[in-house]
Amino acid sequence: EVQLQASGGGLVQAGGSLRLSCAASGLSFDDYAIGWFRQAPGKEREAVSCISSSDLSTYYADSVKGRFTISIDNAKRTAYLQMNSLKPEDTAVYYCAVEESTIWGWVNALRYEYEYRGQGTQVTVSS
């Protein structure tokens, strides 16, 4: 059984930092993309960032470029999202997701449903 264990998140003031983690277990494949999408109340889901386990290519939404950094520890099958210079508009529920695909397949999956998705974690940025 595939499980995605997410951690991190919380409440922080604008300009602050948070780190999200997502540990994947039970995956039967070695090449995959892992990342986070977010959803704020009344807004559409947004693909935030993802990384490929094979070639370490990355994707960032324009809204987070230069502020967020994604990384992966393949030995632990764990991805990390370091979020710096947080803004109130980053407030949302963040979901970790895995697709057995490239990073672009992961981004496209946002329109449908992810193969594997963890429980959401709340990130709240106060002004």
Residue 103's H or E segment, with its range, is: helix 103-109
SS3 (DSSP) at 66 = coil
Average pLDDT over residues 59-63: 98
SS3 (DSSP) at 13 = strand
What's residue 42's pLDDT? 94
What's residue 56's pLDDT? 97
**Is the CB of residue 46 less than 8 Å from the CB of residue 56?**
no
pLDDT of 66-111, one tens digit each?
999 999 999 999 999 999 999 999 999 999 999 999 999 999 999 9
DSSP state of 56: -
Distances (CA, A) of 35 to 13, 15, 59, 119: 24, 22, 9, 13
What's residue 104's pLDDT? 95
- Residue 1: exposed, middle, or buried by beta-carbon count in 10 A (0-12, 13-18, 19+)? exposed
pLDDT of 6-48, one tens digit each?
999 999 999 999 999 999 999 999 999 999 999 999 999 999 9
Contacts of 80 (CB under 8 A, 6+ apart): 19, 20, 21, 22, 70, 71, 72, 73
72 vs 54: CA distance, rounded Å: 10
